[in-house]
Amino acid sequence: MQLHDILRRAHEHEASDIHIVPGHPPMMRVHTVLVPMDDFPTLTSEAIRQTIEQITTPSQQQVFDRESDLDFSHEVPGLQRYRINAHLQRSGPALALRSIRTSVPPMESLGLPEIIDMLVDLPRGLVLVTGDTGSGKSTTLAAMIDAMNRRHRKHIVTLEDPVEYTFTSDLCLIEQRELGADMPTFASGMRHALRQDPDVILVGEMRDLETAALAISAAETGHLVLSTLHTASAAQTVERIIDMYPAGQQAQIRAMLSNTLEAVVSQTLFSRADRPGMVPAVEVLLCTPAVRNLIREDRTFEIPNVIETSRQRGMNSLDSAISELYFNGCISREDALEKATNRDKLERQLAA
């Protein structure tokens, strides 16, 4: 199997993902739609295993043999980098590849709200970018790091699984560490990062209690911490973090979170209806005194109301962002309603 030929073809079609599974031709996802690459032959498990051995190190192969799953990155010279998951399934080994742009796109090219550009200048606190897999979280964070690199003189440490975008230090000194290769866990990377004199710490994902606790503590001690969660809204993000903790500690973590959280950016991607490409709908929560009070008093269910009534401050609900994209002709009505938080309410707005 000529993996690089498959990736080159997918790159020509601007595919975001490539799936290589035994018994099928390669498949690529183009603007959210899965498309078969029928000009390539049906793949065998033997050919896929050989490919995995060609693009992994001996230590990575040992992890794959032991755990039947492996996350790693791979770069094709002259093309781009890929985040790859190798795994076993019923008919043999398979690969799922996510394409990563070699150059970080400038923030102004991503269609993000202007307020996100201002978050880059925060001196400290916790900023979370959330959304489903494939919603563009990594790209948004990379654009924020790139903007910092051009504006400020800071020490930035990133903890990633795996390293996706690669940065060249400009005004900032940037160190990138990869899970597995450079650190055993995110929590371990966080503990040691605090001893490395960082100004900014990017944590690829707050996936467990220990990592979340360390991230909040780092923000509390004067660092700017950027991270992600797989949540669909700002209110759900706050609830998810609090629910990580045992019941007896939740009042304490609400107080800590109310003091450290600066913003939650929740995004989802749409296929454009007006031209080829993708466009994000973005919900923005800024931690004003009113929001901090809601978090402290366990009234997160009121956060959506605060977002709706604080648009002049730069906040925006997901449904408002979706509605704006629809009325600007960027997305279809069907797609808008499919991803709405409150479908009935949005349907009435679109019919108005």
DSSP tag of 106? P
Mean residue pLDDT across the chain? 93
Which residue intervals of the chain bear CATH 3.40.50.300?
A: 107-351
pLDDT at 309: 95
* Token pair 């956060």: residue: 303
Say what the pTM is.
Answer: 0.86
pLDDT at 100: 84
pLDDT at 280: 96
Which residue intervals of the chain bear CATH 3.30.450.90?
A: 3-100
The CATH fold of domain 3-100: Beta-Lactamase (3.30.450)
SS3 202: strand
pLDDT at 2: 87
pLDDT at 133: 84
pLDDT at 351: 84
User: What is the sign of the dihedral through the CA atoms of 344, 345, 347 and 348?
Assistant: positive
Burial class (CB in 10 A: 0-12, 13-18, 19+), 284: buried
CATH code of 107-351, in short, is 3.40.50.300
pLDDT at 180: 81
- Name the stretches of the chain with pLDDT < 50: none
Whether 10 and 18 have beta carbons less than 8 Å apart is answered as yes
pLDDT at 130: 97
pLDDT at 218: 96
Q: How far apart are CA 208 and CA 8, in angstroms?
A: 36
